[in-house]
Structure 1
Amino acid sequence: MKNGWYILLVLCLLNLYCLTCAAVTDVDTLQVYEPSELDLRLLDYTLSWVDTSACTEGYVIADLPDSVYIERLCALPCIVEMPYNAVVKGFIEAYLHRSKKQVARMRRLGDTYFPMFEETLMRYGLPLELKYLPIIESGLNVQARSHAGAAGLWQFMPQTAKNSGLEVNSLVDERLDPYKSTDAACRFFESLYAIYGDWNLAIAAYNCGPGNVNKAIHRAGGQRDFWQIYSFLPRETRSYLPIFVAANYVFTYADEHNICPAEPILPLAIDTIVVTRRLHLLQVAEKLDIPMNTLRKLNPQYTMDILPGGKDYTLCVPAEKAGAYICNEDSILSYRRDSLIEQRRATIDLAQRTAQNGGYTVNGVTYYKIKKGDTLSGIAKKFHCSVGQLQRWNGLKGSSIREGKTLKILR
């Protein structure tokens, strides 16, 4: 019985291996594919958000035969199909040759974000390889904003974010919150997979929307395979899945291509604190001696550096500072509160308008509308001031005045 189960297990593994590699194009029939200028512009546009100033050019990228790419893609422990063809090869080489500094930078950023992505994906029972989608969406730049208005690691549009339960207003943009936006993205993927039952189509729908994928399926005669509806999808979406496969390859095998991680960018150890009262990041920065730039990178969702309070908000700080915040929370919350937090007026009295000598007074300033027959000297006498004062208060150079004009009297 034990041997029987062993043979069955081997057969299942072989079947899984064949399914994983089912979409691999025959090496002998591979055509040379050069990503179009538009494809490369789309890739470069995302990677332009990646700061490479800390990276070096000292990497040697080795060209490999197609058989090695195929073998390595088939070896990936993935649920999502990772096929190899000329289109995928073109984007693998684009990453390796055009964007190696960005890859080095994103490898280091991945030290911060990938564990959190994986934890959330596992909680929802989703494929862990989806953690590489933010590489395509935002270049792992949590503050990335597109010309269309999408923002954050997962590039949510404002209305899609609100529909997913994210807060988007003048003070808070939770699309920029790595934790909450990742949770929202996982829930969105869950719903897309429920529609299609196919991860390739779900990934395509994440990029262009279910409506466009449904149209492509209809135009392809009901085919429900990404590569069969490929030519009916929007141009950007046609590149999206191949770039996703290429990203999985490049970030899994970066060491084999001599692409080392860049220098550390964010603190690797981060702790979160729940804050319910209104708080300015500068209060935390100055009291705990944390660079303001670091706090902004860790809390990009607070677009004006203010946690609004009134409900639970999450504050991220370097792990070694979390204890100090908890022990000194009251003093932090009261520090410079008048200038940073309480500067907004809760109530405002309306200006009172009172009549005076044919004019009216508001906030201590009297206004008089010139009537027919008025003279500057007569108005000065009426309001107990000099002609020179009236000229100075109203920018007049002579004594000529015009009916209907309003004069200011500042006494």
Structure 2
Amino acid sequence: MKKIIFFALIGAFVSNLALYSQKNTSSAQTVVKDSSLIYPESMTEQLSSLLHDWQLDFSSSDTPCKNGNNVFFPDSIYAKRLYSMPSEMELSYNHVVKSYIDMYAGRKRELVSYMLTLGEYYFPMFEEALDKQGLPLELKYLPVIESALNPVAVSRAGATGLWQFMLRTGKGYDLEVNSLVDERRDPYKATQAAVLFLRDLYKIYGDWNLVIAAYNCGPGNVNKAIARSGGKRDYWEIYYYLPSETRGYVPAFIAANYIMNHYVYHQICPASVYSSMSALDTVHVAEQIHFDQIAQSLDIPMGEIRRLNPQFKKDIIPGNHRPYALVLPTNKMFAFIDKKEEILNYKKSTYLTHRINTDQYLTESTTATSGHTANIYYRVRKGDNLSKIAKKNGVTIAQLKSWNRLRSSKIGVGKKLVVKKKKVVPPPTPERQETIVYNRPDSTTTPDSTIISGYLDEQIEKMEESQRHKDDSEQTDLTGSPVTRN
């Protein structure tokens, strides 16, 4: 009886093994294989460059754990973990997705460690914006593949920021871009715009995989792929009709969801960073101010101000244009409010050199005087007085009276006043050059250049021949007059 049961179990095992093999063979025939896969730019970025752009110093951080070695799992485990994630989006598994999981868990595991820490700051912001519009929260991992969570990332095509907005698309969603400000780099505003863009794309396609593909290559390319496939609207069915750089985009997004949720299984842990990433506050600034004015006055590193406010490209907040939000650590925010006037006036002329008006330079004239100084003049206009003119030019009323020999403070419109004296560097004295002038006998006609050249050559040859036979230093020019060198 025991033998019968034993052979029955063996038969069942062989039968199941054959069925499993048949299923694997069947799935292998339909698996997506792509030898022309192009990785997103963020995945080719050097970690050293990212650390510089993140403006974070991890060297002295206390890490709660240490990264181990990657652990590999069977395909069935990867597929099950993705399928079990509570997601509105279809996070399916295939060969291409596996290649990205292996990349994140393998050679990019250190990058993942840093992004897990950065995610503590960015992901809650992303989730809040997505939840407000009723979009899947899994979309918070889109910037992982778009920019590696680098707010100042710029692609080869010019896409900028965490969400990699092109200039035209960014402006279409009210992101300001000018010489000093690029709100595509503003984590908060760019996130709001990206969520609205994703919402609009979903209204077009009604499928999140197609939405993500369109976010990467544009709706036009996705529409072409749909048309070439005969009208199919499934990402995996139009896969080979998409641009090669977009084919790996959805698989990379799925793999990012996997690794950011299951990093522990692959012995990856977050890199620790100082706590000021969460204790932040915002104030609106309506005056022009330079980051270094804030840094020097509040004793806060420039790198930290830049990290929290990456939208200001030149370290200048142009608050005289319109109010802008400034993000600072909470403990520094109160100090900023208390010392605001002091900060605004700290070395203002050094950091903010953009002059309001240069009309005075068009009405002034400069006359050099003895002692290598020059007078700067100003023509008096209606409404001017000595106090106003002195303040404008940074001098005293007494100086104005002395320079202009004024006995009273009364000045007439149109009068030219000396308002400044500045040092001037005298022009260099040109070195003395010895010149021998050859005079040609007068002629009633003007010879052409050929005749003049020939004549001079002939005379020079005669002079050289004569010089060789003379022992003294005297020379004779063409008129017969002696020429003596000084």
Does 1:263 pair with 2:262? no
- Report deviation, 1:66: 1.3
User: What is the letter of the counterpart of residue 286 of structure 1?
Assistant: Q
Residue from 254, 257, 274 that aligns with 1:245: 254
- Report deviation, 1:102: 0.4
Q: Report what 1:145 is aligned to.
A: 154
Deviation readout 1:200-256 (Å, 9 max, x if unpaired): 111100000000000000000000110111010000111000000000000000112
SS of the equivalent of 1:214 reads helix
Deviation readout 1:90-140 (Å, 9 max, x if unpaired): 111111111000000111111111110111111111111111010101100
Q: Report what 1:314 is aligned to.
A: 325
Does 1:283 pair with 2:293? yes
Residues 67 and 269 of structure 2 are in contact (CA less than 8 Å); yes or no, is this contact kept in structure 1? Answer: no
How many percent of aligned residue pairs carry the same amino acid?
46
1:12-411 equivalence runs, <5 A: 29-31=26-28, 36=35, 39-40=38-39, 42=41, 44-46=43-45, 48=47, 49-51=49-51, 54=58, 58-264=67-273, 267-310=277-320, 311-341=322-352, 343-349=354-360, 392=428, 397-398=433-434
SS of the equivalent of 1:228 reads coil
Deviates more, 1:107-116 or 1:50-59: 50-59
Residues 36 and 244 of structure 2 are in contact (CA less than 8 Å); yes or no, is this contact kept in structure 1? Answer: no
Partner Cα separation in structure 1 for residue 330 and residue 216 of structure 2: 35
- Report deviation, 1:334: 2.4
Q: Report what 1:12 is aligned to.
A: none
Residues 47 and 102 of structure 1 are in contact (CA less than 8 Å); yes or no, is this contact kept in structure 2? Answer: no
Deviation readout 1:151-202 (Å, 9 max, x if unpaired): 1111111222112111111111111110011111111111111111111111
Partner Cα separation in structure 1 for residue 85 and residue 323 of structure 2: 40
Partner Cα separation in structure 1 for residue 258 and residue 113 of structure 2: 14
- Report deviation, 1:279: 1.2
Partner Cα separation in structure 2 for residue 61 and residue 244 of structure 1: 20
User: What is the letter of the counterpart of residue 255 of structure 1?
Assistant: V
Count of residue pairs brought into register by the alignment = 344
Residues 40 and 146 of structure 2 are in contact (CA less than 8 Å); yes or no, is this contact kept in structure 1? Answer: no
Deviation readout 1:384-408 (Å, 9 max, x if unpaired): xxxxxx995567745699xxxxxxx
Structure 2 CA distance for partners of 1:132 and 1:341, relative to 1, 3 Å: same
Residues 289 and 344 of structure 2 are in contact (CA less than 8 Å); yes or no, is this contact kept in structure 1? Answer: yes
Structure 2 CA distance for partners of 1:294 and 1:231, relative to 1, 3 Å: same
- Report deviation, 1:344: 2.7
Residues 280 and 305 of structure 1 are in contact (CA less than 8 Å); yes or no, is this contact kept in structure 2? Answer: yes
SS of the equivalent of 1:50 reads helix
- Report deviation, 1:299: 0.9
User: What is the letter of the counterpart of residue 239 of structure 2?
Assistant: Y
Structure showing greater Rg: 2
Residues 144 and 152 of structure 1 are in contact (CA less than 8 Å); yes or no, is this contact kept in structure 2? Answer: yes
Over aligned residues, Cα RMSD in angstroms?
A: 3.0
User: What is the letter of the counterpart of residue 121 of structure 2?
Assistant: T
Partner Cα separation in structure 1 for residue 430 and residue 155 of structure 2: 49
Deviation readout 1:342-374 (Å, 9 max, x if unpaired): 5535224455899xxxxxxxx99xxxxxxxxxx
Partner Cα separation in structure 2 for residue 391 and residue 350 of structure 1: 22
SS of the equivalent of 2:284 reads strand
Runs of 4+ in 1 over 6 A off after TM superposition: 32-35
Partner Cα separation in structure 1 for residue 94 and residue 46 of structure 2: 23
